[in-house]
Chain A
């Protein structure tokens, strides 16, 4: 299915229902998955709901100030115990028969509890809690896998690249309230792979957006269109990030650009970060979290069957930005990325196009090409970890290598292979 050495990928990985079910068991259940930003939970009782793979999740802030994540499914007969996107509450009451859970997930009230015999103990019937939860500079991740490495280790070499948007401000980051959510016909990997590796598509797919953004209206100058750049991939974790290294390849909102003191940033994060990952770039944390530093976009590609994904996109801001700068970043993000964004709308078109024809028998037997930059992977002496050329498919090959490896490995919840 995946030949990551020669860079060939079988399209069945985008369409096959059996592979999709295996993916939920072996790729999503064992991995660290993005839940949201700590700024979404300001005080005790704040909660939001999301998904890990296709499993519905409640994330709440308890009386002790701890953030916890639970399966949003009543232990009695399985209804969701919370149907709001977010809010503030004292407890979660199931509207089916009235079992009530507190902010720590404990079963705190059962109507007609006398009807159960003496073996029934509410302590056994709390909400199912994730095995591990942690945040990296404000981004909350969780996993069901008790034996997964701790979050900082799982992010591995990608942390340096994430710091280009998470660590510019000593005060940290916040998010704009609310999430843009939309659904599209396309397997989640089409998007996750693209953000990990595919800078190659930018000039063609986004030609119209690049034209209207450029001062002349004719598109970027050729030294920017053909910018040099690097692409990172994390062999252990499957993560990837790419970025131009041309100083003018920085398609940011003017007000936001003026807000930054680049001398300070050079001192704080180093010249290489400012000249690389902080320019117009993108990245994916395996499996399904992606980001765009310049646009302030962070997003998750929720799998919804082999043929569909749901995109949830936030705008991330530095805490010390003034209201005017925050507003400029919010507007820039929604006008460029998001369902009406002048960049994003063309990405959606490509993914649904690739998906819509993938069911043909012959179509499905013709491999896809991820061969650019084969053999170019190296340590470049400037950017940490393994890197290759900006247009390389190396991070894509690595993404699918990691994916195939997980697909072939029994997860912690399975009997080991003979």
Chain B
């Protein structure tokens, strides 16, 4: 595995308030997100990989219930438990599994819909710092249903075929015990 770059820590990086981006930038970012959601819902994971920077850090730390005075510790640290902690390479490895034709947890495939909203775009020395909310609905086989809800903090850089590349993403599921038998999509 390649060396991993630092994660975006919610609550620290996100609070350094950059200037809100202008209308045109905001529009381009939301279009990028809509395209990304479309790609994931179509199951075109190979295309999704094209939207990711080579040095991507993609991180979904576990969240815990802590006493209120220890609440600052409720999101686990980068060296602790996580639902995802990925590089572009490791995501490519996961995606290759779907292409083997023998990934039974997605055969027949699930139906998913990624909804992304609450987008704020701020200027950042390394690109754009973007916060958003997601609601992902998964329906599988007859009526197995999961809802994954959470927030994303992204660092986007200009470039790539889609106008932006995702350089960092921190995903926070609004969950302690994940209410799903597995996670077979990306967010």
Contact = CB atoms under 8 A, between A and B. Distances in A.
Given A181-B178, A348-B181, A352-B144, A207 B105 contact: no
A282 B178 CA distance: 24
Given A84-B65, A185-B181, A340 B84 contact: yes
B65 A335 contact: no
Contact of B104 (A178, A180, A327, A349): A349
Size range of the chain B interface in the assembly: 35 or more
Interface in B146-187: 176-184
A239 interface: no
B77 interface: yes
Q: Indicate the member of A180, A181, A184, A340 with the most B CB atoms within 10 Å.
A: A340
B80 A177 contact: yes
Contact of A182 (B104, B144, B181): B181
A89 interface: yes
B96 A85 contact: no
A182 B180 contact: yes
Interface in A305-329: 310, 314-315, 323, 326-328
A211 interface: yes
Contact of B105 (A310, A328, A346): A346
Contacts of B65: 83-85
A207 B67 contact: no
Nearest to A340: B183
Contacts of A340: 83-84, 94, 182-184
Contacts of B179: 182-183
Q: Indicate the member of B64, B70, B93 with the most A CB atoms within 10 Å.
A: B64
B111 interface: no
B81 A310 contact: no
A73 interface: no
A39 to B, nearest CB: 12
Interface in A125-174: none
A177 B81 contact: yes
A90 to B, nearest CB: 11
A344 B101 CA distance: 17
A87 B97 contact: no
Size range of the chain A interface in the assembly: 35 or more
B183 A179 contact: no
A349 B184 CA distance: 11
Contacts of A344: 182
B97 A334 contact: no
A232 to B, nearest CB: 28
Interface in B70-98: 70, 73, 76-77, 79-86, 90, 93-94, 96-98
Given A84-B66, A205-B104, A345-B183, A178 B81 contact: yes
Contact of B176 (A85, A326, A328, A356): A85
A80 to B, nearest CB: 11
B23 interface: no
A327 B79 contact: yes
Contacts of B73: 87
Q: Is the interface of B mostly helix, strand, loop or mixed?
A: loop
B119 to A, nearest CB: 25
Nearest to A327: B79
A354 to B, nearest CB: 12
Contacts of B67: 84, 87, 89
Contacts of A180: 62, 81, 83, 178
Interface string B100-122: 11111100000000000000000
Given A183-B179, A207-B100, A342-B97, A331 B85 contact: yes
A213 to B, nearest CB: 9
B82 A345 contact: no
Contacts of A181: 62, 176-178
A27 to B, nearest CB: 23
B10 to A, nearest CB: 16
B168 to A, nearest CB: 17
Q: Indicate the member of A184, A315, A345 with the most B CB atoms within 10 Å.
A: A345
B105 to A, nearest CB: 4
Contacts of A330: 79, 85
Given A182-B181, A209-B97, A342-B94, A349 B105 contact: yes
Contacts of A182: 177-182
B64 A85 contact: yes
A205 B1 CA distance: 25
A179 B177 CA distance: 10
Contacts of B77: 177
Given A84-B66, A87-B66, A180-B83, A208 B100 contact: yes
Interface in A72-127: 83-89
B1 A331 contact: yes
A205 B90 CA distance: 21
A178 B180 contact: no
B96 A176 contact: no
A44 to B, nearest CB: 16
Given A180-B178, A335-B90, 19 more contacts: A85-B65, A177-B76, A178-B64, A178-B80, A181-B177, A181-B178, A183-B179, A184-B182, A185-B181, A208-B101, A208-B102, A208-B104, A211-B102, A331-B85, A346-B104, A348-B105, A349-B104, A349-B181, A356-B144
Interface of B: 1, 62, 64-67, 70, 73, 76-77, 79-86, 90, 93-94, 96-98, 100-105, 144, 176-184
Q: What 4 pairs between A and B have smallest CB-CB spacing?
A: A178-B81, A184-B181, A345-B182, A177-B80
